[in-house]
Amino acid sequence: MFKPLKLKRTTLPNRIIRAATFENMADAEGIPTAKFAELYKKLATGGARCIITGFNHTSREGRAMQPFQAGIDDSRKIIGWQRVIDEVKSVQPETQLFIQISHTGRQTLQHVTRLPVKGAGSVKCTYFRQPVTPLSTDEVKEKVDEYIRAAKNAETAGFNGIQIHCAHGYLIHQFMSPFTNNRDDEYGDDRLLFLKQVVTGVKAAVKLPVFLKISAADDRQRGLNLPLVMSYWPVIDSLETDAIEISYGMMEVAFNIIRGEHPLDPVLKHNCLFNRYHPGLRWLFKHFVYHWYKRSFIDYCDLYNLENAVKIKAASKTPILVTGGIRKKSQIDYIINQRGIDGVTLSRPFVCEPDFVNRLAKGNGEVISGCTSCNLCTVMCDSRQPLRCYRGPAR
Ligand SMILES: Cc1cc2nc3c(=O)[nH]c(=O)nc-3n(C[C@H](O)[C@H](O)[C@H](O)COP(=O)(O)O)c2cc1C
């Protein structure tokens, strides 16, 4: 796990990567603040040598519903990110900072973006409950240009690499999935066309390494599932990106992306999809609807995306990373040395212990993350609070 990972356009100093983790640390316009530098400096001095930022919007229309999401769509954001990167590099020059770029598509709210919600198709997301207008064919081409512009801005800002977010139900996932892509133009005939145009456009525009993050399956009957993703793989592989991270799910059942506990009271208090309800309606949701809704939740288990990642790896020339429920040194060793996966990405363990990589490096024998997957950090993404651990490591 501490051996360098040689990729097409870069070499990572080790194979333990900080997965994209939404920070809620930009200002109201999406310009990153000094809080990002503080967080990444802690991770960098704690041994993380590759840090993927939380998702950054590629345009105002593609903003997430959370109040303080960062973006990379204009020059003020480039300057903001430059400051963050300079500070992190002054402390730990070897650390590679990758920016995750994303357009939310149907997974956002009109009152946040102040623009109509547009997606790959017209299917409403049951979580966001917003009417969705399908992007016109010309608008899809504009979206491709927005990803390319975002990548160029990231290069100008000084990032070491880019991760294109194709997972979790965001816009690229919406094009890939037959459940959300009900288009009747060329982007419906070829559900990978949007992805191909984004990736080839980004690769042609910047010299940076490019990672993808893909959900191997989601929770919709006609959505993404492993056989479909495997049938896509020859095309995805031929895009020759530097690494592909295997994840799961979409926001219809958000807790299946990030499994663990379901702290319902903080959801009802902080999530703007619920906290606008009359208290009586929230009571009804908690005592009746939730019990029905939670039947679609998949229980947490360690390494919950590993088996999908291993199957994809067997069909892939592109290096594969896996995320989800990685909590022990012995598990990382097993994933890399026995299952042949190229690297691991961890999110929640780094929220509660930014120095987790140093602990892994120094520990003789087993090292276990103190993260209990309580998911308070997850649900508090929807509050106005910056990312932090609410429980503290339970060792
Ligand atoms: C607080 C929080 C914020 C997250 N934000 C993002 C994000 O911005 N982009 C993304 O692709 N995944 C995001 N994730 C998912 C993680 O990258 C990761 O795939 C998932 O949490 C499973 O890994 P873990 O078990 O190590 O936490 C987030 C997870 C958490 C807990």
The tens digit of pLDDT for each residue in 202-235 reads 999 999 999 999 999 999 999 999 999 999 999 9
Say how far apart CA 165 and CA 2 lie, in whole Å.
26
Say how far apart CA 297 and CA 257 lie, in whole Å.
10
Ligand 1 atom closest to 346 (CA): 26
- Nearest-CA residue for ligand 1 atom 18 is 347
Q: Is residue 16 part of a domain?
A: yes
For ligand 1, mutation pick of 16, 17, 21 (most atoms within 8 Å of CB): 21
Residues 86 and 189 in one domain: yes
Q: For residue 220, what are the CA distances in angstroms to 134, 253, 256?
A: 19, 9, 12
For ligand 1, mutation pick of 258, 261, 369, 379 (most atoms within 8 Å of CB): 258
Say how far apart CA 371 and CA 206 lie, in whole Å.
37
Q: Is residue 151 part of a domain?
A: yes
Q: Is the pTM of this model over 0.75?
A: yes
Say how far apart CA 40 and CA 11 lie, in whole Å.
20
Beta carbon of 55 within 6 Å of any ligand 1 atom? yes
Query: What CATH code is carried by the domain that includes residue 202?
Result: 3.20.20.70
Q: Is residue 390 part of a domain?
A: no
In order, the DSSP letters of 93-145 are: TT-EEEEEEE--TTSS-HHHHSS--EESSSPPPTTT----EEPPHHHHHHHHH
Query: How far is ligand 1, taken at its centre, from the CA of residue 119, in Å?
Result: 22
Angle 13-17-18 from CA coordinates, rounded to 5°:
135
Residues 277 and 130 in one domain: no
Query: How far is ligand 1, taken at its centre, from the CA of residue 19, in Å?
Result: 6
Residues 207 and 62 in one domain: yes
Beta carbon of 356 within 6 Å of any ligand 1 atom? no
Q: Is residue 350 part of a domain?
A: yes
Tell me how many domains the chain contains: 2
Other Cβ atoms within 10 Å of 86 Cβ, number: 12
Residues 346 and 356 in one domain: yes
Other Cβ atoms within 10 Å of 114 Cβ, number: 10
For 180, the domain range is 5-262+300-382
- Nearest-CA residue for ligand 1 atom 11 is 20
Structure tokens at 191: 């559900």
Beta carbon of 102 within 6 Å of any ligand 1 atom? no
Q: Is residue 394 part of a domain?
A: no
Q: What is the pLDDT of residue 394?
A: 58
Q: Is residue 388 part of a domain?
A: no
Residues 53 and 155 in one domain: yes
Residues 355 and 370 in one domain: yes
Q: Is residue 112 part of a domain?
A: yes
Beta carbon of 25 within 6 Å of any ligand 1 atom? no
Beta carbon of 19 within 6 Å of any ligand 1 atom? yes
Residues 139 and 186 in one domain: yes
Query: How far is ligand 1, taken at its centre, from the CA of residue 347, in Å?
Result: 5
Beta carbon of 347 within 6 Å of any ligand 1 atom? yes
Beta carbon of 21 within 6 Å of any ligand 1 atom? yes
Residues 157 and 50 in one domain: yes
Say how far apart CA 62 and CA 115 lie, in whole Å.
9
Query: How far is ligand 1, taken at its centre, from the CA of residue 21, in Å?
Result: 5
- pLDDT per residue as tens, the chain (395 positions): 999 999 999 999 999 999 999 999 999 999 999 999 999 999 999 999 999 999 999 999 999 999 999 999 999 999 999 999 999 999 999 999 999 999 999 999 999 999 999 999 999 999 998 999 999 999 999 999 999 999 999 999 999 999 999 999 999 999 999 999 999 999 999 999 999 999 999 999 999 999 999 999 999 999 999 999 999 999 999 999 999 999 999 999 999 999 999 999 999 898 888 888 888 988 988 898 888 888 999 999 999 999 999 999 999 999 999 999 999 999 999 999 999 999 999 999 999 999 999 999 998 899 999 999 999 999 999 999 999 999 876 55
Q: What is the pLDDT of residue 273?
A: 85
Q: What is the pLDDT of residue 275?
A: 85
Structure tokens at 332: 């990382």
For 105-133, how does the pLDDT look when each residue is reduced to its tens digit (9 = 90+)? 999 999 999 999 999 999 999 999 899 99
Query: How far is ligand 1, taken at its centre, from the CA of residue 55, in Å?
Result: 10
Residues 292 and 304 in one domain: no
The helix/strand/coil state of 75 is helix
Contact present, 373 and 300 (Cβ < 8 Å): yes
Ligand 1 atom closest to 163 (CA): 11
For ligand 1, mutation pick of 347, 375, 390 (most atoms within 8 Å of CB): 347
Residues 257 and 287 in one domain: no
Query: How far is ligand 1, taken at its centre, from the CA of residue 287, in Å?
Result: 28
Beta carbon of 352 within 6 Å of any ligand 1 atom? no
Residues 17 and 148 in one domain: yes
Contact present, 57 and 103 (Cβ < 8 Å): yes
Angle 128-130-134 from CA coordinates, rounded to 5°:
115
Residues 248 and 350 in one domain: yes
Query: How far is ligand 1, taken at its centre, from the CA of residue 280, in Å?
Result: 32
Q: Is residue 360 part of a domain?
A: yes
Angle 292-295-296 from CA coordinates, rounded to 5°:
115
Beta carbon of 22 within 6 Å of any ligand 1 atom? yes
The answer for 52, left when phi > 0, alpha when psi is -120 to 50, beta otherwise, is beta
